[in-house]
Structure 1
């Protein structure tokens, strides 16, 4: 079934689908959406929104308000502040190394609220598709992240389980496809099998970009599978491996990253991989750390009224503070911000936030 322009293909949710169909049959599309907006990851242990909250989230005017109403809790902190976190900056660095040729289809697997799809779309890439197991994240992507005048061709979004067969519209045979999975492979069912599907979907001349994989050689920082750099290398034979800290510096400072061996990544907090099919050729990429001309830049909301950097939660600070050296502890003065907007945009003090952030 389809709700709000997003096909819902997640298996094992017969009762939810039945309730949503009943709402649609009664002429209540907002009610149908509310039913599916209350669905969550199987590992989620937080409270779910009630029906009234889910209905209100569907009509929320901002991303922040929708996230609050959907009770996304600790996950919501990451979704709302994704535009300046080191995971996204490393992902942008990886994307610039594996930039798709014009017209190459892109599939963003476990795309969440679509920040990478937005970056691709604002730079004219099409066709784009995003898939996630949680409809609420795709709903947020469609209404609050990808709803931008600069997005000429809206990405296709589909709610599905990565462990199930992927629709042909997303992963059917093509000469080349770029398949991206950022900060999610370790949470997906059967990471090795998913990586194999990603390689198959890339075709004969495409590529697979896997980013933000916590290093299983270090103490656990969260849930999901414990994948080591050697595991990642085995899943994507011949891939270039990177320390995400190097990719962040590439995005912020234009300091070129070095390809690493699995043994060299023993101390990396998170790891990324770029796999190319035999027929793939590197493509010159735009500078993804620099702001696009003419875009409205706003102060990073992590900075309070007094100009001090404040993290949204202790957990968020524990995950990201040490990995975000580009964020100064205090805002620079207004004259410096005005004189060097690109410099401060690179350091994520100034952000190209979604209009309805």
Structure 2
């Protein structure tokens, strides 16, 4: 895959509007704590939808902050998936398929029509209506040649039908999505040629299946009736047993009580020694202990804590506010100190889950900054 780069001209800022912000929060909430980065692809798609079908750099930073991801990781994702446009495109963005099945079915004529009607590849028309790009297979080979325009597929094209499609889009006329012939979806041209015998679908080829169904229904009804009778008998037996037990208890209460014998004076017992208080929490509990912190980075230059997996820009900022600037600080934490730092982070448990200590020790050993 060829390298993909961000557009040279970029807007200064980006922020989701109210509708897409709500959608983004719903999508983030689908993932467990600490796994919010899993929502990155939907959020990139929302950004593209909001921003005229392309994603600016400011949107990548905005999404990185929302998901607590390093910006470079967001860039890696957006440049990998070609469905994300990294530069402005026309109102009707034509993605032309020129791979083998489409080429064998005359896609060269579609490509020539793109050049004659729209212009050169990746150039937006002066009225902003169109731009086009040749792409790899779009997965509709049976219906070749075809193009994708924004989110819709237009298939079984020829030069004339494609030019008419562009004219209708420019004029705002309704268009037929899918095959531009009488084909139904990906069925053969002219209609189905196999599996057209109606007896395949009326049950006649598997015998009198309706009588079998009636037998099954009858057996199920009889089983349900028997179960109801058995439940009724069991309920009567339980009620009878409860009634018999109640009568026995009543007779026992009516018997005269024997006169109690006078009890000898009891020798007062010595008071039991008070139970010892727990002196410490269980071995598995952690007592928060504040680790040694710094007021500023040594030599005025902090280590890049974002190199630790699980530390994004936000968490790095929180660590700096606490007084953590260097890998060796993190590497020295014991369990109680981890508990102290963990209680001050937004994503509790991340230190153990991502094994920050082992990562930090490795960076210290390698002399990484």
Q: Under a length normalisation based on structure 2, what TM-score does the superposition of the two structures give?
A: 0.21
- Structure (1 or 2) with the greater strand fraction: 1
Q: Under a length normalisation based on structure 1, what TM-score does the superposition of the two structures give?
A: 0.21
